Amino acid sequence: MNLNSHVPRWHELQSAARAARENAWAPYSHYQVGAAVLTSDGRIVVGCNVENASYGLTICAERVAVAAAVAQGCSGFAAICISLTGIPVPCGACRQFLIEFNKGMLILLDDVNRAHDTPPELVSLDELLPRAFRLL
Ligand code: ZN
């Protein structure tokens, strides 16, 4: 898939996700993650990981971004950029959470160790979670 043709606003998403990452609440792991979701109506909504002393209550950046967008009245999502250090892939819980809204959602995988404006890797959510659980 070609990033520029599929997600022409990828620079904005990358910048927003990287900026949100700076707000991560990660006092335990020190592993900061930022996410920026592009809604179907063109909004960009961000999230960051929010850890908790109980660990189990920790929320990933991707779910924070989508939940914030839903709270703003959005339910259609075209793409999400995930920015972190290392190998930026969403966890299994986030894959299931995201596929609720769009199985073909485009995922931009942004390693912040790479220079800003380095194109993120582009994958489709259904590539990352084939045969997802569905009630419908
Ligand atoms: Zn996750």
Q: Domain locations in the chain?
A: 3-128
- Cα 76–Cα 82–Cα 87 angle in degrees, nearest 5: 140
Task: Give the three-class secondary structure for 127.
Answer: helix
What's the rounded mean pLDDT across residues 90-117?
96
Find the 118 Cα to ligand 1 centroid distance in Å. Answer: 23
Residues lining ion ligand 1 (Cβ < 5 A) are 60, 91, 94
Homologous superfamily assigned to 3-128: Cytidine Deaminase, domain 2 (3.40.140.10)
Task: Give this prediction's pTM.
Answer: 0.96
Q: Which of the residues are catalytic?
A: 62
Query: Model confidence over 1-32: pLDDT tens digits?
Result: 899 999 999 999 999 999 999 999 999 999 99
Model pLDDT, residue 24: 98
- pLDDT at residue 136 above 80? no
% of residues, the chain, pLDDT over 70: 99
Find the 97 Cα to ligand 1 centroid distance in Å. Answer: 9
On whether the CB atoms of residues 76 and 103 are closer than 8 A, the answer is no
Find the 121 Cα to ligand 1 centroid distance in Å. Answer: 18
Model pLDDT, residue 1: 85
